Each structure stands twice: as structure tokens, then as C-alpha cells.
Amino acid sequence: SDELFLISGPCVIEDEKIMMTVAERLKEISERLGIKIIYKSSFMKDNRSSLDYYIGPGLEAGVKILAKVKEQFGFTLLTDVHYPEQCAPVAEVVDVLQIPAYLCMQTTLVVAAAKTGRVVNLKHGQFLAPENMKHPVKKIEDSGNDQIILTERGYTFGYNDLIVDPRSFYHMNKTGYPVVFDVTHAIRKYGIPSKDSKGGAREYLPVLARAGVAAGVDGLFVEAHTCPSEALCDAASQLDINYLEEFLKPLIELHNVEVKYRASAQELA
Amino acid sequence: SDELFLISGPCVIEDEKIMMTVAERLKEISERLGIKIIYKSSFMKDNRSSLDYYIGPGLEAGVKILAKVKEQFGFTLLTDVHYPEQCAPVAEVVDVLQIPAYLCMQTTLVVAAAKTGRVVNLKHGQFLAPENMKHPVKKIEDSGNDQIILTERGYTFGYNDLIVDPRSFYHMNKTGYPVVFDVTHAIRKYGIPSKDSKGGAREYLPVLARAGVAAGVDGLFVEAHTCPSEALCDAASQLDINYLEEFLKPLIELHNVEVKYRASAQELA
Amino acid sequence: SDELFLISGPCVIEDEKIMMTVAERLKEISERLGIKIIYKSSFMKDNRSSLDYYIGPGLEAGVKILAKVKEQFGFTLLTDVHYPEQCAPVAEVVDVLQIPAYLCMQTTLVVAAAKTGRVVNLKHGQFLAPENMKHPVKKIEDSGNDQIILTERGYTFGYNDLIVDPRSFYHMNKTGYPVVFDVTHAIRKYGIPSKDSKGGAREYLPVLARAGVAAGVDGLFVEAHTCPSEALCDAASQLDINYLEEFLKPLIELHNVEVKYRASAQELA
Amino acid sequence: SDELFLISGPCVIEDEKIMMTVAERLKEISERLGIKIIYKSSFMKDNRSSLDYYIGPGLEAGVKILAKVKEQFGFTLLTDVHYPEQCAPVAEVVDVLQIPAYLCMQTTLVVAAAKTGRVVNLKHGQFLAPENMKHPVKKIEDSGNDQIILTERGYTFGYNDLIVDPRSFYHMNKTGYPVVFDVTHAIRKYGIPSKDSKGGAREYLPVLARAGVAAGVDGLFVEAHTCPSEALCDAASQLDINYLEEFLKPLIELHNVEVKYRASAQELA
């Protein structure tokens, strides 16, 4: 479809009430803007900086909450998997299995996700030249699955900083699969805990999102929370859901212009 | 003004016939698209890789040709200066004095350009964090000149590659001066002579230009030539002027959307 | 100990004859140079670019071969683990469990390795600021294990290139644990298959190793093979074992000078 | 010569008394360590961040002070030139003309320096792949001068940070000319004024210098001052001259080992 879609939800699965409130707000935005939304949240954060930080409710409890969101609001669901054995049980309920960026090259994991037959959302590793994303894509195809999404979330730039390279969208679009831009992770400042408000650079969200959309994407990925400063993960980078609708409006318009001229980008290129 | 403007012309001043043909084509494009165009060409390339390469006709002969272009087509003129003593004589004819990116921190040059009273186009050094562009800006202001343009042209990314960071436009816009995106220099591959067609990556031109415009610019900078492969400088990166009009159309539309939502970018930020 | 130690062996476990020949050569070098050597080889490469590439003999068969090497030559053993359930069975035979660089932030894996009670060699992620290595270190300590080694293997620098930052050794040394420099992985050129001789830049091995040793390390990591061009993994980057002894000699001397002045580095710093 | 040499002195020419005291201290160190020292100081800093900062005494007054240093202590002199017309008058007194890193690609300047017949010290631009230093080298040779020194001083790494790549020494050594490592500039933190003590990261000086020397250099460049915190430029990065002797001792020993094995580095490479 030529319509921009959105992947959104709280970073990690928290209290059920928060999950449902976010879902309700997303439902309203989806209807008002006429934008398809995939509900995303993680049952397990396996790469946090400390054993003391919240990592989510775990697979079983987490999937249960996601199932309720689906049941009540009808959303397509997305969550991330970290170990091969998680893929099959998650796939019973969740529609899109996401491979975390650090793990995009882990063959066993990628193949296990592919073999569930569900859509696989492959995040672009912060250390991988974008044209090399064709390699994990091929692993999924070779496992008999051609339902693939590719997601950009920023590339290593010096220490503790990520850069969004518009050329990355060019390369990922060449695979022929839908391309998504995860803008809220692109503004994380590693080296600063995410509960510290300096751990994210939200001032860049509009400019990055606009650039990415104009460079050519099919979907956006925006983690959103009812109260980001109290979020249990990525507190410094999630978007306050109250700003989401205004945030999206220019992006939808920019996307419509970009789609109109997508073919001409390829001709000139 | 809210209208996107264009800085264009051949990289270096070549044979008068080529200069006039490019000017004529730019004039037509300007009229058909209703876009203001500033005519740019260099009288001297002072940072070429070899003494054997063409460096342009020199100040006197070069300015004479630019004057003819102005006289015949009415263009505002832009050229770059490399040494302080060039500023005054160039300013007699040329409207916009450009400080080359490598030289953006050279105080004597920047001050000499500022003191001509002409508009100064300050290119963003490939080695300078974009927020630090406020320093050379202040040098110009402190020299009594507030007619300033800032131009992005890519930032050092590993070896022999430049990256365009959308956040750079955010920072340069905060100065309050017009911001331009020089897209043809951003695709140069240093380490490969520009006469080798691999010395530029033109396939990225549409995606980069679209991203930059959506990130928020006032003008574009696109070097153009009637036959780039035979151009005497930057043969691998200049745009064939036959493609320029189609190249600009989506950019104008994207710019119109971005301008409409520019204020909202700042509110969310 | 103040003596430089070496981690070496073929990248991936191949035919038993090759494994034994390399071990024999390493034994000779160890005796002639008086250098302690840890024998390293992988039973599984989980991040190769294609499903068609060799990934090793698997855990059971691989560990069996490593056990023979230990039995026959008395080497301390090191191998890498990719999934938590591999840790306990590997730890039955192998002395040092290595966390791959891409996986250094995966909590479940790091904790599972720590809980075996074996030494954990934590590779420095190509995307992690070196001072942030203290976080996975703390996860291991918090799991009750303080037998830790940290290994540098290059940091993301633009696309398809790694850089070795001498400051990384400074930061890793501050943890108080032994620091190792994996020089053969630092010269890999991603984006080029390792069976292509351009997939590695061996010309940099001496200069990188010398710089790293003088910056302050306790050990070196050099993958070595009897015939690298026919190696089943990292053919372009492993060192021909015939060159290993000459390669090490200056490094041992440089290490001895560095150790003598290690305290003064900290005073001036 | 196989002996390590040193380029040192205060960053910018200050009060004559300071200049002489530093020279006296350098003379003592030179004699005690048996190391040849070239006295360096700048008469003009043309790339400071603000018009309000001290830029030095200017060419005439500056060269006069340098001449006194030479007369009294017998040092070979080095200073940097920024504009072509400075080269001839500087060359009347100063033995080594230095091209600043940002200006290494400026043909007119480089040629003017070359044509004085003095030694030219070409600093490696923070934006130039090290193998491309052969281009400005060739410009000097083509101007009839083969007395060239190449100096590394760090390469752009993300924003406001420089990295020292050991591979740079490999490439610069391939030119066949003496290679120097300027370690005090490599620790500057741009974006922070040098009068702020956070504007430099002195803790890295020993580790960087040791790595660079072991990678293969002929000389070191260390700006030194009697009281860096009160220095009029680069206050955060110059070395306190009281630490210089201890700083140099391990470097001389490392250099002696490296020289002994320099040929073997090339054989393995």
C-alpha cells in the first residue's frame, strides 16, 4: 500500500492499565488520521545496562497482555525476540516478530523467526553498512519466508551517538521490502541511563522523522507512552502520546509527496 | 521568503560558451518552475589533488565572465574566495562571497569577506560539529555584517566518505539565517579523482536532496553542467542540467509541506 | 602476571588434523618464546553472512576436538558461546567462555556464562563506547564471577571499516581486569566475503598490534592457520602460523617496556 | 637518523619571558635525554573560535622572538603559516614551515611554503584519508622541494572528538618522509573553549603517545608550557613542561624497540 503505516506503543510492557490506555489513544489517532497502526511493545529487554533495571514481564505474561490489546482493539501486534526458542510461542499470538538491531546477524535467531511463518521485522544493526542488510534478508528468504520488513534506527557515529544516513533508506528500499524508520531509538544517547532526561535528544525527532520520510519509507516506528518520564525503559526517548498526532501530520503529507515521486528518484539514480 | 531558492552553475568557470549555455538553461528552469536561482561558479579551485588539474581562469578573467552572465541573464552571482585579498575585487561584481568548507574557521578570510558588505555564504566544514557553526557566524556579525547564508555539504564519515546528518539542518536553522543544502558535493568520493565516474555517487542525489529539504532548508545548491563527464572539475558529481528540472519538482513540493509545518517542528523540539 | 599472553588458534574448528597441527606449532612457539598461550577455536559461527557458509562442527563435536587439544598439548581452552544454554555444556571442558562482540550487551547470555564459574572473555562491541564496557563487566560481577577478561577488536568507523582507538585500552584497563587485543578481527573488511583475499587488510597487522601493545594490554588475540587462504572462515584475516613467531617478537619487547612504565602512564593521566 | 626527535614549545607565542623559560627547560631536557628538539610556537592562530581570543603577536613580532630563542639556545625553529605571503618572510628566520591541518589541501599556500626551500611540515587534515596525504606531498615535490615532514594530529570521529588511527602512521611512512605524531592536539575537545579545563583530555596523553610511537614515527610533537592553565591558547591540552621529561622516557625506549623491528613490520605487511 502507498499509505504510511505506524508501529507504536510503549517501549516495554508495563502495567496493563498503561498498555490499554496507550492502545486506546493509538486507536483514536488511527481513526482520525486514517493511518494503519501496528501495536508494539517488548516482553523482555535483554540488553539493558544493568541487572537492576526493569526488563519486562517475560514472555508468557507479556504475550498475554498483548493478546488482550489485540482482542480489545484489533491491532496487528509486533514484539521482539532475543533467543530462538522464544519465536514459536510468541508467534502464536504476535503477528510481527522483530529481530533486535544488535542481533540482526545471529543466524539461528533469524532463521527461527523466519520459520514461524510470521512477518519478520529486521532491525538494521548499528554496525552494519546498510547495503549489507541484504544478507540477513536472504537468510529469511532461504528459510522460506518472504514477509519481511526492514527498520532503520540509526548507525554508530563516534561514541555514544547515532546518525541517521538518508542513504540507508535508498539501500534498504532496493531489497523490495517495506522499509520503516524507528525515530525514537535514533535519538537515544548511550552512556546516559534512559531514565535521565539527557539520555535522549527529543529535539531532533521532527527533523529526523521528516528527513527519513522524504528519503522514502513505508512506515514509521515511534515508541509512545502516556507519561514518558515515568516509563520503565527509554524514558528519555519515547514520545509523549499527546504529541503523536501533531507529530504525524506533516509526515503523512511528506510521505504522500514522496510516494508520488518515488519512481523519479530511481530514474535519476 | 518561504520559496525554495537554488544556487546552481558549473563547478568551475570553463569556456564562456558553456557558462552561457548553462545560464540560459537555468534561466528557463527558473521561469518555468518559478524558482529564484543564484548563479554559482568558481574562478579558482585551490584544493585540487594535483598541480596538473585545471584550477579555473583566475580572479580577473573569471569575474569578467561572471559579469557577462549577470549582464545577460540578470542572475545574482555567487563565487568562492580563498585568500583575504581576493574579497574586495570579487565583491565589486559578485553578490555572494562563499567561504569554502575547509576554510570556514580561517578568521582573516572570513572577516575580509564580511567587511565587503556582500552576503557571505559560509560552508559547513566537514570536520566541525554543526552547532559550532555559530562561531564563524559570530565572527561575521562582529565584523558588522548580518547577511549570512549557511550551507551544509556533508560531514566526514570514516575515510573517503561524507554523511549528511539531518540534525545539522536543525542546528544551522537555529542561527536564524537562511540554510542551504549543497547536495552535489555531498556525494563526492574523495580518494577517487573526480574525472573518474566512480568519484561521485549520483545515485544518492534524489534521496539526499529530499531528506535535506524535508529537514528544513531555504535553498538548494546543485552544481550543473551541460556535459558533466567532460567537466573540468567534479565531473563525477555535477548534475546533468537536462535532469535538473525533474530533480527540483519533488523538492519544491516537499519544501512547501515543510514550510507549512516548520513552526510545529520547533514546538515539538 | 606481567608477561604478555597469547590467545590463538584457527577461527573455526575445522578438520582435526589442522587443529592438531596448529596446536603443535603453537606449543613450539610457546616454548621458544616463553609465552603462555590459550588455544582458541569456535564450534559455531552464528553471524556469518550466508546460510551457505561453513559454521563449524557444532557444540558437541567441537568441544570433543578441543578436549583432545587440551589432553595432548595441555593448553588452556577458549571458545565463544552464542546462546545461554550452550554455556554449561561448554564449561565442562573449556576454561574461558567468550562473549562475541555483537552480543556483549545480551544480559541472559552474559549471566549464563558468568554463572558457570569459568573465566569470561567479554569482547568489546563494535558499537559500544569503551567506557561503557563497565556495564557488562558489572553484570558478570553481580552474577558472582570476577574472573573476567576484556578484549578489544575494533570499533565501527564509517561503513565496512573498523578502527582501533588506543583510548579504548585506557578505559578497559581502568576496570582492573586483564585486557586483550584481538588484532586479526580488527583488520576484517565487512562487505567483502572473508574467502576473498580483499576481505582483510593484513598489511596493518604489525602496526596495529604494536600500537595496541604499547597502549597497554596483557594479552594478544591472533587467529592463526596453517593455510589461511583455505581456511573455512576468516580466510582473509587469519595469520599464517609460519609468521606468528616473528610477529610476536617485537610485541613482547614492546610489552616489557610498557609494563615498566605502566604506573607512570597513570600518574601523568 | 634513528633517534626520536621532538617538536615542542608553547602553542602560541606569548610573553618573551615565558618563551625563554620554556626554551631553557627544553634545552635541559634535550641534553639530559640526548634528544634533538625543534622549538615550535605560532605567531598567529587564524582559526580560533572567537574574535575575542588571543591570536598571537603577528608575524614580525613573533619571528623576532623566535629569532632570539634560536640565537640564545641554538634550536631549529618551526612555526605555521596561514597565507602564501607569510612564507617568504617567515623563512628568513624559521627552519621548518608548518602547513596547518585544515589547510593541507590549499595549493597556493603549500606551493608558496615549498618554494622557500625550507623544510615543510605538512599536518594531516582531520578530514583526509591518510593515504591521500601523498597528494599534497606531491605538490611540494613538484615545486622542487623534497624536505618534507608529515604530522598526524587526529582524525574526525563523530562530533567534537578526534581519533588516532595507528593505520595512519603506516600510510604516512609509505611516503618515505619523516613522520611525526602531534599528541597534544589529538586530545583537544572541540566545542569546548580551550581555556576550560574540559577542553582537553590529558588523561589520554600517555596511552596515545605510546601507541603512536610503537606504530612507527620519527618524531613527536608536544606543546608544552610552564603553566598550561594560564596559557593564552590550548590551555586545556598543552603539557606542563614539568612532566615532559618523564613523559618522554618510555617513548624513547618504545621507539628504540620499534626502530629495531621496523623492517619486519614491512615484511609481514
Task: Indicate whether C269 pLDDT > 70.
Answer: no
Instruction: Tell me the fold of A5-268.
Output: TIM Barrel (3.20.20)
Give mean pLDDT, residues A220-227. Answer: 98
Name which of B166, B169, B246 is nearest A264 (Cβ-Cβ). B246
Label residue B266 by pLDDT band (50, 70, 90). confident
Q: Give the tens place of pLDDT for each residue, B76-90.
A: 999 999 999 999 999
Query: Looking at chain D, which subunits does it touch, using at least 3 CB pairs closer than 8 Å as the criterion?
Result: A, B, C
Report the residue of D239, D257, D264, D267 to disrupt the C interface, i.e. the one with the largest count of C CBs within 10 Å: D257
Task: Indicate whether C252 pLDDT > 70.
Answer: yes
**Is the sign of the CA dihedral C161, C165, C171, C173 positive or negative?**
positive
Contacts of C158 in chain B (CB under 8 A): 157-159, 161
Report the residue of C155, C156, C159 to disrupt the B interface, i.e. the one with the largest count of B CBs within 10 Å: C159
Q: Give the tens place of pLDDT for each residue, D44-100.
A: 999 999 999 999 999 999 999 999 999 999 999 999 999 999 999 999 999 999 999
Residues C210, D208: C-beta atoms closer than 8 Å: no
**A242-248: long-range pairs with CB below 8 Å, 24+:** A243/B268, A244/A8, A244/A25, A244/A26, A244/A29, A245/A29, A245/A32, A245/A33, A246/B264, A246/B267, A246/B268, A247/A205, A247/A206, A247/A209, A247/A222, A247/B268, A248/A6, A248/A29, A248/A33, A248/A35, A248/A220
Q: Are C238 and C184 in contact (CB under 8 A)?
A: yes
SS3 C269: coil
Task: Indicate whether B1 pLDDT > 90.
Answer: no
Least Cα separation, residue D234 to chain B (angstroms): 16
Q: Give the tens place of pLDDT for each residue, D151-200.
A: 999 999 999 999 999 999 999 999 999 999 999 999 999 999 988 989 99
Q: What pLDDT was estimated at residue B211?
A: 98
Q: What pLDDT was estimated at residue B265?
A: 87
Q: Where are the alpha helices (DSSP H) in D74-204?
A: 84-91, 107-115, 134-142, 166-173, 183-186
Return the bridge partners of A181, or none.
A152, A220
Least Cα separation, residue B78 to chain D (angstroms): 20
Give mean pLDDT, residues C134-152. Answer: 98
Report the residue of B126, B155, B161 to disrupt the C interface, i.e. the one with the largest count of C CBs within 10 Å: B161
Q: Are A106 and A91 in contact (CB under 8 A)?
A: no
Buried residues in C96-110 as b, exposed as e (16+ CB within 10 A):
bbbbbbbbbbbbebb
Give mean pLDDT, residues D36-42. Answer: 98
Q: Residue A135: closest CA among chain C residues belongs to which residue?
A: C49
Contacts of D153 in chain B (CB under 8 A): none
Question: What is the 3-state secondary structure of B9-74?
Answer: ECCECCCHHHHHHHHHHHHHHHHHHCCEEEEECECCCCCCCCCCCCCCCCHHHHHHHHHHHHHHHC
Q: Which of A99, A93, A77, A97 is nearest to A23 (CA)?
A: A77
Q: Which amino acid is at C55?
A: I
Residues D190, B125: C-beta atoms closer than 8 Å: no
Residues C159, B159: C-beta atoms closer than 8 Å: no
Q: Residue C158: closest CA among chain B residues belongs to which residue?
A: B158
Q: Give the tens place of pLDDT for each residue, B21-50.
A: 999 999 999 999 999 999 999 999 999 999
Query: Looking at chain B, which subunits does it touch, using at least 3 CB pairs closer than 8 Å as the criterion?
Result: A, C, D
SS3 D46: coil
Label residue A267 by pLDDT band (50, 70, 90). confident
Would you tell me how many other CB atoms lie within 10 Å of the CB of residue A221?
27
The domain segmentation of chain A, as residue ranges, is: 5-268
Give mean pLDDT, residues C174-179. Answer: 97
Contacts of A159 in chain C (CB under 8 A): 129-130
Task: Indicate whether B269 pLDDT > 70.
Answer: no
Residue with cell 504522500: A256
Give mean pLDDT, residues B133-159. Answer: 98
As a whole number, the mean pLDDT across chain A is: 97
Residues D82, B108: C-beta atoms closer than 8 Å: yes
Q: What pLDDT was estimated at residue A129?
A: 98
Q: Residue B163: closest CA among chain C residues belongs to which residue?
A: C158
Q: What pLDDT was estimated at residue D1?
A: 81
Least Cα separation, residue C243 to chain D (angstroms): 7
- For β-strands C155-156 and C162-163, DSSP reports them as antiparallel
Backbone phi and psi for residue A218, each to the nearest 5 degrees, phi listed first: -105, -25
Q: Give the tens place of pLDDT for each residue, C87-137.
A: 999 999 999 999 999 999 999 999 999 999 999 999 999 999 999 999 999
- How many beta-carbon pairs below 8 A join chains C and D? 138
Q: Where are the alpha helices (DSSP H) in D53-153?
A: 59-73, 84-91, 107-115, 134-142
Task: Indicate whether A191 pLDDT > 80.
Answer: yes
Q: What pLDDT was estimated at residue B46?
A: 97
Name which of D206, D260, D269 is nearest C206 (Cβ-Cβ). D269
Least Cα separation, residue A257 to chain C (angstroms): 30
